[in-house]
Amino acid sequence: MTAQNIVAADTDARPRGDVLLRASDLAKHYPLRAESLTKRRRVLRAVDGVSLDVRGGETLGIVGESGCGKSTLGRCLVRLTDITSGRVEFDGQDITTLSARRLRRIRPGMQLVFQDPQASLNPRRRAGDIVAEPLLIHRYGDAAAVRRRVAELFDVVGLASAHLDRYPHEFSGGQRQRIGIARALATSPKLIVADEPVSALDVSIQAQVLNLFADLQEEFGLTYVFIAHDLGVVRHVSDRIAVMYLGEIVELAATEALYSAPAHPYTQALMSAVPEIDDGPATVKGAGAHRRERIVLTGEVPNPVAKPTGCTFHTRCPYARERCAVEHPRLTETASGRRAACHYPLDGQR
């Protein structure tokens, strides 16, 4: 792929609206207990200087290995957790430090769908009541209006309204996730942050739930931030993808551009690890005629409490040079128009 068509592929995958969600230099640090009275309190930098825009109607995928800060970032974006520093704007409003009362007012517009519907749905409440809860909190209307809305939501997500009175354990895993989605949709949000919404489901059910997400986006013009560690899943649903490593975004690109020519060595390594489904187990997932060099990720993910100096990936990067251990690369545009945090981006050269 030439530099020119990488730039072309990096433009909108579909027409998108104005910026709905913007994070600027966002950080979430967890202070840890000091090991002894004489030692300094250590800090775990779960999210560390993340900047991104999400436009109305698009799906931004977020991928990365376990513990890289995906869920923490998702929770910061919808202000389910306090933010250490930086800024989050939603629908033109700075929501970084809103009081609980003012946050409640914007809450209907942004919702989170959790990974494990088993754990996120109250087992002692009936499905209809679970879906009704946000409507009651936000004073949707009288009891009859709430009942009508819940039945409508059941229909929208493909659940039978005859099952309104069932308890979560009486549904299958896929159906439970549909309850979680119906609850998230109840207040007609503009933005849904979905944190690994299909990871806990059987592979055979995953496609159905992913198709539901796609249908709902089409029908209601929803904007998604879609978190997943599974590159296949995230590729399937995303217009653009942000790749995270140790709390930072190391690459941000349109989905096909990212898959056909990753600019960051970590992205390349992550994708090399995905087996080719259609082409036998010995090959790697290739994009069209572009067969990728197989890079094996060696070593463990470093401890986020003691992140490596310079480029945090330098301890595992096959292309690391001296500069990488001392100078931190920022997420910037590379020579071929990609956005990567690397001193020596691949730019289709390797």
Residues that bind Mg ion (CB under 5 A): 70-71
Q: Under the criterion CB under 6 A, does residue 308 sit at the interface with ligand ATP?
A: no
Phi then psi dihedrals of residue 92, to 5 deg: 80, 5
Residues in 272-301 at the binding interface with ligand ATP, rule: CB under 6 A: none
Binding-site partner at residue 44 among ligand ATP, ligand SF4, Mg ion, none, CB < 5 to 8 Å by type: ligand ATP
Q: Under the criterion CB under 6 A, does residue 328 sit at the interface with ligand SF4?
A: no
Q: Under the criterion CB under 6 A, does residue 68 sit at the interface with ligand ATP?
A: yes
Task: Walk across the sheet containing 43-55 and list its strands.
Answer: 43-55, 19-31, 85-90, 93-94
Q: Which CB atom, from 30 or from 319, has the smaller least distance to ligand ATP?
A: 30
Residues in 1-40 at the binding interface with ligand ATP, rule: CB under 6 A: 30
Tokens 């730039």 label which residue? 7
Binding-site partner at residue 319 among ligand SF4, ligand ATP, Mg ion, none, CB < 5 to 8 Å by type: ligand SF4
Q: Which CB atom, from 74 or from 168, has the smaller least distance to ligand ATP?
A: 74
Residues in 2-41 at the binding interface with ligand SF4, rule: CB under 6 A: none
CB of 234 to ligand SF4, least distance (A): 20
**How many whole angstroms separate alpha carbon 225 and alpha carbon 238?**
9
Q: Under the criterion CB under 6 A, does residue 343 sit at the interface with ligand ATP?
A: no
11, 38, 66, 204: residue in contact with ligand ATP (rule CB under 6 A): 66
Long-range contacts of 41-45 (CB under 8 A, 24+ apart): 42/305, 43/305, 44/304, 44/305, 45/246, 45/247, 45/304, 45/307
Structure-block tokens of residue 13 = 């995958």
Q: From 154-162, 255-263, 289-297, 319-327, give the range in contact with ligand SF4 by CB under 6 A.
A: 319-327
CB of 318 to ligand SF4, least distance (A): 8
CB of 67 to ligand SF4, least distance (A): 19
Binding site for ligand ATP (CB under 6 A): 30, 44, 46, 64, 66-72, 229, 304
Binding site for ligand SF4 (CB under 6 A): 264-265, 311, 313-314, 317, 319-320, 324, 329, 342-344
